[in-house]
Chains A and B, each alone.
Chain A
Amino acid sequence: MAVSVDEAVSTGPARDHSPPARRLGGRGRSGLEVALLIVLAVVMLFPVLWMIETSIKENRDVYAIPAKFFDFRVTLEHYRDVFVAPDGGRSALSVSFLNSAVVAGVSTVLATVLGVPAAWAYSRFAVKAKKDQLFFILSTRFMPPVVVVIPIFLMYRQVGLIDSKLGLILIYAAFNVPFTIWMMKGFVDEVPAEYEDAAMLDGYTRLQAFWKFTLPLLVPGIAATAVFALIFSWNEFVFAIFLTSSDDVRTAPPAIAGLIGGTTTDWGLVAAASVVFALPVLVFAYLVRKHLIAGVTLGAVRR
């Protein structure tokens, strides 16, 4: 089954529409379809726009009834509150963003270092029960996090990994490895094994052939895979909320969720924190848009 992802996501000009297709009443119907698409797009994007708008509204406009869509006072104080604590120091939220970056970054590096060689080996060698192994690997990714977190919690309590960044890094690496292997196997399959054979005829060992010839060709694929792993870890919430508690370890998702604990919620701050949190994800997702289908299906569906 051939599926073109580029076609669906690239911003380039689309294929020509064949004239016969819009013969009868084509204009009117086409206009209706465009209108419908625009309405749907507005509905899908409204919450995001509303979030951005709320993040720059003054507090009394945030809670205005009826809601103010256009005539509100603009302020950046919510964004200041995200980074600066009331006493002028660093806010707990900004620390959590930093923690998120560290945890997501290190776990992604770990998953990549473990996953890429494994993907290459699965792609190149006749491994016993290869298909079963690959299926098993992907199955681990589908386990309900709430179920996995119970024994992990007990395990971490035994070895002192509760409320530590290392604990989160390990579990995130473990849930990104299956994805990395499946995604990267697709990329490795696209590089002809003959390159390595040729290099080995020239006297290189298999390992050198992989390192010097295949790996450089895999760099774009590795980058795309790593970006997805980074997004998954950055967005992850369930493990983070159960395995961490202190402010110096907590990542951003539980920290942002923690903003709504009390009797009153500063929704302007929640919105600003959400925007700051989501912005890098959207930028990264845009960068890897060509591989989006493979990425969101954990490498299972590809061109």
Chain B
Amino acid sequence: MSDPVPLTTDNPGQVASVPPPAPGRSRRLTDRGLAVGFISPALLLLLAMSVFPLLWALYLSFTDYSATRGGPANFIGFGNYTAILTSAQVHQRALTTLIYVIGAVGLQTVLGFGIAYLISRRTHGRGVLTTLFLVPMMLSPVVVGLFWRFMLDAQFGVINSMLGSLGLGQVEWLTRQRTALISLVVVDTWQWTPFIMLIALAGLTAVPKYLYEAASIDRASEWFRFRTITLPLVWPLLLIAVMFRAIEAFRLFDLVYILTNGGPGVSTETLSFHVYKVAFLGFNTGTASAYGILMVLVVIVLTQLYLRYLNKLKED
């Protein structure tokens, strides 16, 4: 590892031999130099690859620039923003995204917590079970999306095949408007339930045993124990997981791209997917930038809430 900071030139001998006040001062100076030298390369990379692009997008959002047409970017004020905020298309995508986020994150939370609770009550095989349950989470969204697309195929998909052998009808999972959105929620739930489970399990195993013992001496019912001991203690951590998932779900793009490509019609187009269409298929770079900046604002608000809460939790 090559550190970009050759700021410290004093050698050990010097530090040891000089009289007391001097090393203290020079050390503080080098500490400062070290801190700056160690932190700034990382920050510079972030400035170049995250902040600068966003500022550029912010600039473009006030213009009618198009990446393909080229030509100069004309300043059009808040035109793009008003166009987006009043667009019925955008409202529809926002609704789709909202349904998806609430549906998927809600299901994941219930299922994930349920599985974690069941696992936490086991004495044997906990590690093996946990490891097995975690597999979907580690897969790439590409693999997950492709594979579910195959399994949900109306003709030779294994899901319909199983439904058929149970005597149930075939479902056109990905080609009907309503079922397509449901499929998206199901696949996301399949992949991310382990995430909630993992964090809930950490919370559940951290609940001190003596609390339960005290409760059982008092002959408290199982439900009472769950409601008054388990849930309040696990809830803060669970909320962290839920918020994290909500932010991730809000930005969802890859799964939509692979699984349904937004269709049928526009029924599974999330906001991210719509931005992509405006930017890369419609070539309205200015409009897409404004759209993106609005999404970034939402993400910033959500992230701030998340980080504030995280911070509060850490300080307790």
Q: What residues of chain A have their CB less than 8 Å away from a CB belonging to chain B?
A: 1-5, 7-18, 20-21, 30, 33-34, 36-37, 40-41, 44-45, 47-48, 50-51, 54, 62-67, 112-118, 120-122, 124-125, 127, 131, 133, 135, 137-140, 142-148, 150-155, 157, 170-171, 173-175, 177-178, 181, 200, 202-208, 231, 234-235, 237-238, 241-242, 253-254, 256-257, 259-260, 265, 267, 270-271, 274, 277-278, 281-282, 285-286, 289, 292-293, 296-297, 300-301
Contact = CB atoms under 8 A, between A and B. Distances in A.
Interface centre among B39, B119, B203, B258 (most CB of A within 10 A): B39
B117 to A, nearest CB: 9
B46 A155 contact: no
Interface stretch (B52-60, B86-94, B174-182): B52-60
A301 B49 contact: no
Contacts of A253: 140, 142
A157 B199 CA distance: 41
Given A4-B206, A150-B57, A257-B258, A207 B34 contact: yes
Given A36-B118, A121-B38, A177-B46, A139 B303 contact: yes
A1 B2 CA distance: 37
Place the interface of chain B in its size category: 35 or more
Given A18-B213, A33-B121, A139-B300, A207 B8 contact: yes
A37 B119 contact: yes
A148 B53 contact: yes
A44 B131 contact: no
A178 B46 contact: yes
Interface of B: 1-3, 5, 8, 10-13, 15-16, 27, 30-32, 34-35, 38-39, 41-43, 45-46, 48-54, 56-57, 60, 67, 115, 118-119, 121-124, 126-143, 145-151, 155-156, 158, 161-162, 164-165, 190, 193-195, 198-199, 201-203, 205-206, 209, 212-213, 216, 236-237, 240-241, 244, 247, 250-251, 253-254, 257-258, 272-273, 275-276, 279-280, 285, 288-289, 291-293, 295-296, 299-300, 302-304, 307, 310-311, 313-314, 316
Tell me whether chain B's interface is mostly helix, strand or loop, or mixed: helix
A54 B258 contact: no
Given A144-B251, A150-B289, A274 B147 contact: yes
B283 to A, nearest CB: 11
Mostly helix, strand, loop or mixed at chain A's interface? helix
Lowest 9 A-B CB distances belong to which pairs? Answer: A147-B292, A174-B49, A11-B127, A151-B53, A235-B140, A203-B12, A121-B38, A117-B38, A67-B161
Given A115-B42, A142-B299, A148 B54 contact: yes
A155 B190 CA distance: 37
Contact of A114 (B45, B57, B193, B250): B45
A294 to B, nearest CB: 10
A114 B41 CA distance: 6
Given A1-B236, A154-B67, A205-B11, A44 B276 contact: no
A69 B292 CA distance: 45
A47 B190 contact: yes
12 contacts: A14-B127, A127-B35, A138-B307, A146-B275, A147-B54, A147-B57, A151-B289, A155-B56, A170-B49, A206-B30, A282-B138, A301-B199
B244 A150 contact: no
A291 to B, nearest CB: 12
A14 B43 CA distance: 43
A234 B139 CA distance: 10
Given A4-B205, A203-B15, A293-B199, A152 B38 contact: no
Contacts, number: 338
Contacts of A10: 127
Given A127-B35, A144-B299, A286-B131, 10 more contacts: A3-B206, A16-B123, A18-B209, A33-B118, A40-B115, A155-B52, A171-B49, A181-B42, A265-B150, A300-B240
A30 B272 CA distance: 44
A3 B198 CA distance: 11
B38 A296 contact: no
Contacts of A297: 199, 240-241, 244
B311 to A, nearest CB: 7
B42 A47 contact: no
A145 B263 CA distance: 21
B99 to A, nearest CB: 18
B133 A154 contact: no
Given A151-B57, A203-B16, A121 B148 contact: no
A140 B52 CA distance: 11
Contact of B150 (A21, A54, A118, A127): A54
A42 to B, nearest CB: 10
B151 A14 contact: no
B8 A206 contact: yes
Contacts of A127: 35, 39
Given A140-B46, A177-B46, A1 B251 contact: no
A125 B285 contact: no
Nearest to A34: B122
A77 to B, nearest CB: 18
A237 B142 contact: yes
Contacts of A231: 138
Nearest to B59: A151
B16 A63 contact: no
A17 B279 CA distance: 57
Contacts of B115: 37, 40
A34 B119 CA distance: 9
A168 B209 CA distance: 49
A293 B203 CA distance: 11
